[in-house]
């Protein structure tokens, strides 16, 4: 293979999808082969996922890959300060990047000013990414108090925004409704970001802004209390394209749940939805008191059927302790097995 290629000025090798794994002998051989033919061979990769790779090896890999060819990038298990300092220059050159995922990237600094400067540097990357459609940050705490510095730099309208598993401040949620790049979201995931201490009017403003396009809304495990729900219900009821709504693992009363279900009357496209068991059915000894929960579940279903016919719905803990089912597009119908005695 090598002699035939060496006579050509440019040779492009396409990797449709590749995970960077240090022990991958084939991948190491390919990188070595390309390195020996710098200027003659261009290594292309549409999807790149680093897995258990030290940052120095990731940087070396990026020096060999044609950065404009990368459309999907996922970086896992790295330190935010080192990632921003070492990888930012490569990210800025990924002009065709469409999906960017940071999974479990940790931060090891308590210096808020330093964090702010690092986020500002990181935000400058997005000024160059004109085709970005998906941004996912798992363990979003690093951006707490600084999220606006990132959001305001987004150039293209995002379709998918996932900020999960961490803490955000009032000003972080506020900025989500202020910039046009988030005005056409199809998928919004804020799961396991505690919101109990925040005013949800800002979240309601975002839902109102994206009501014509939003298809998936995940607010699972956000510790939303029933007293906060009224702030988002009017906007939620306008999300006419919504097909998936996860609201499980929140602290909600029976009356608030009934009000929530009534506000979904116009959401005719909803095909998968989850809700928590009402707090009246919970106690300190067991997650759900079945004797109390069963009639409450039946009442909730009657309330819902008065306004629309559900397709796939879970009320209470998931997966279901009776049959093990979890929310899934493969389920034809699941009206909360937890509400039935085995």
Q: Report the distance separating Cα 13 and Cα 311, nearest Å.
A: 47
For 290-306, the pLDDT digits (tens) are: 888 889 999 999 999 99
What is the model's pLDDT at position 20?
A: 58
Residue 263 covered by a domain: yes
Quick one: average pLDDT of 81-109?
90
> What CATH number does the domain containing 264 carry?
3.80.10
Written as six digits, the tokens of 319 are: 């997966």
Across the chain, mean pLDDT equals 85
For 205-226, the pLDDT digits (tens) are: 999 999 999 999 999 999 999 9
Q: Are strands 134-138 and 160-164 parallel, antiparallel or unpaired?
A: parallel
Q: Using the predicted structure, report yes or no on whether residue 50 has a pLDDT greater than 70.
A: yes
- Could you tell me the pLDDT band of residue 26, with boundaries at 50, 70 and 90? confident
Greater pLDDT, 335 or 191: 191
Q: Got the DSSP string for 56-94?
A: HHHHHHHHHB-GGG--EEEEES-BHHHHHHHHHHHHTT-
Q: Global pTM? A: 0.87
Residue 88 covered by a domain: no
User: Residue 191's closest CA among 151, 245, 257?
Assistant: 245
Contact 233, 201 (CB under 8 A): no
Residue 292 covered by a domain: yes
Residue 169 covered by a domain: no
Q: Using the predicted structure, report yes or no on whether residue 23 has a pLDDT greater than 60.
A: no
Contact 138, 112 (CB under 8 A): no
For 104-162, the pLDDT digits (tens) are: 888 767 788 888 999 999 999 999 999 999 999 999 999 999 999 999 999 999 999 99
| Lowest-confidence region among 2-6, 42-46, 85-89, 124-128 | 2-6
Quick one: average pLDDT of 163-192?
96
Phi and psi for 223 in degrees, rounded to 5?
55, 35
What is the model's pLDDT at position 89?
A: 93
Q: Report the distance separating Cα 299 and Cα 305, nearest Å.
A: 10
Greater pLDDT, 14 or 83: 83
Residue 314 covered by a domain: yes
Structurally, the chain folds into a number of domains equal to: 1
Give the residue numbers spanning the domain of 306: 209-342
Residue 179 covered by a domain: no
What is the model's pLDDT at position 52?
A: 62
User: Residue 268's closest CA among 245, 242, 304, 232?
Assistant: 242
| Lowest-confidence region among 226-235, 257-266, 330-339 | 330-339
Q: Using the predicted structure, report yes or no on whether residue 6 has a pLDDT greater than 50.
A: no
What is the model's pLDDT at position 283?
A: 77
Q: Report the distance separating Cα 136 and Cα 20, nearest Å.
A: 19
Q: Report the distance separating Cα 197 and Cα 150, nearest Å.
A: 23
Q: Using the predicted structure, report yes or no on whether residue 202 has a pLDDT greater than 90.
A: yes
β-pair partners for 41: 11, 38
Q: Report the distance separating Cα 248 and Cα 327, nearest Å.
A: 11
Written as six digits, the tokens of 68 are: 């404009």
Residue 85 covered by a domain: no
Q: Got the DSSP string for 293-327?
A: HHHHHHHHHHHHHTT---SEEEESSSS-TTT----
- Could you tell me the pLDDT band of residue 10, with boundaries at 50, 70 and 90? very low
- List Cβ neighbours of 40 (8 Å cut-off, separation of 6 or more): 5, 6, 8, 9, 10, 11
For 236-267, the pLDDT digits (tens) are: 999 999 999 999 999 999 999 999 999 999 99
- Could you tell me the pLDDT band of residue 318, with boundaries at 50, 70 and 90? low
What is the model's pLDDT at position 163?
A: 97
Q: Using the predicted structure, report yes or no on whether residue 338 has a pLDDT greater than 80.
A: no
- List Cβ neighbours of 204 (8 Å cut-off, separation of 6 or more): 231, 232, 234, 235, 236
Residue 320 covered by a domain: yes
- Alpha carbon distances (Å) from 339 to 255, 264, 314, 322: 18, 21, 10, 9
């Amino acid at each position: 293979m090598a002699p035939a290629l060496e006579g050509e000025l440019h040779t492009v090798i396409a990797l449709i999808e590749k995970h960077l794994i240090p022990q991958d002998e084939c991948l190491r051989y390919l990188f070595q082969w390309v390195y020996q033919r710098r200027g003659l061979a261009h290594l292309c990769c549409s999807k790149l996922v680093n897995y258990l790779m030290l940052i120095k090896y990731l940087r070396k890999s990026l020096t060999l890959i044609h950065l404009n060819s990368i459309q999907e990038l996922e970086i896992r298990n790295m330190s935010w300060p080192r990632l921003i300092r070492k990888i930012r220059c490569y990210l800025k050159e990924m002009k065709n990047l469409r999906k960017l995922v940071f999974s479990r990237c940790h931060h090891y600094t308590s210096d808020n000013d330093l964090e702010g400067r690092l986020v500002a540097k990181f935000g400058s990357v997005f000024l160059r990414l004109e085709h970005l459609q998906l941004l996912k940050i798992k363990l979003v705490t690093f951006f707490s108090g600084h999220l606006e510095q990132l959001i305001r730099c987004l150039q293209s309208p995002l379709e998918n925004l996932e900020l999960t598993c961490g803490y955000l401040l009032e000003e972080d949620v506020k900025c989500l409704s202020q910039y046009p790049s988030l005005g056409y979201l199809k998928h919004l995931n804020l799961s396991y970001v505690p919101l109990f201490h925040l005013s949800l009017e800002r979240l309601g403003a975002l839902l109102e802004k994206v009501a014509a396009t939003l298809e998936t809304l995940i607010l699972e495990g956000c510790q939303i209390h029933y007293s906060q729900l009224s702030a988002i219900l009017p906007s939620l009821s306008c999300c006419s394209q919504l097909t998936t709504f996860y609201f499980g693992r929140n602290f909600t009363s029976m009356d608030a749940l009934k009000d929530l279900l009534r506000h979904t009357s116009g959401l005719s496209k909803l095909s998968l939805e989850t809700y928590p068991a009402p707090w009246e059915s919970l106690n300190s000894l067991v997650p759900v008191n079945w004797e109390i929960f069963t009639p409450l579940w039946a009442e909730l279903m009657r309330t819902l059927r008065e306004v629309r016919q559900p397709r796939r719905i879970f009320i209470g803990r998931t997966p279901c302790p009776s049959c093990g089912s979890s929310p899934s597009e493969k389920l034809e119908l699941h009206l909360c097995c937890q509400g039935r005695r085995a």
